[in-house]
């Protein structure tokens, strides 16, 4: 759970900073945003793996 949350929040910060950065430097901001989105996507594997089923 700790790995998933770390990847999620790290990816969220990178995604938001990539959006902000792309207003000034399009290429660098795009790469940072894409990398942050990939980190957030990979965190869902760890979050779903350790989650408990309802019921």
- Burial of 32: CB neighbours in 10 Å, binned 0-12, 13-18, 19+: buried
Tens digit of pLDDT at every position of the chain (55 positions):
688 888 889 889 988 999 999 988 999 999 999 999 999 888 888 777 655 665 5
3-state SS, residue 50: helix
Q: Kindly give, in sequence order, each residue whose CB lies less than 8 Å from that of residue 46, ignoring residues fewer than 6 positions away.
A: 1, 3, 4, 7
Domain spans, the chain: 2-50
- Burial of 10: CB neighbours in 10 Å, binned 0-12, 13-18, 19+: middle
This prediction's pTM: 0.75
Contact between 48 and 9 under an 8 Å Cβ cutoff? The reply is no
């Amino acid at each position: 759970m700790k790995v998933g949350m770390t990847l999620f929040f790290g990816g969220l910060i990178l995604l938001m900073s990539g959006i902000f950065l792309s207003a000034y430097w399009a290429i660098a901001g795009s790469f940072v945003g894409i990398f942050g989105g990939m980190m957030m996507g990979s965190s869902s594997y760890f979050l779903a793996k350790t989650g408990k089923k309802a019921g």
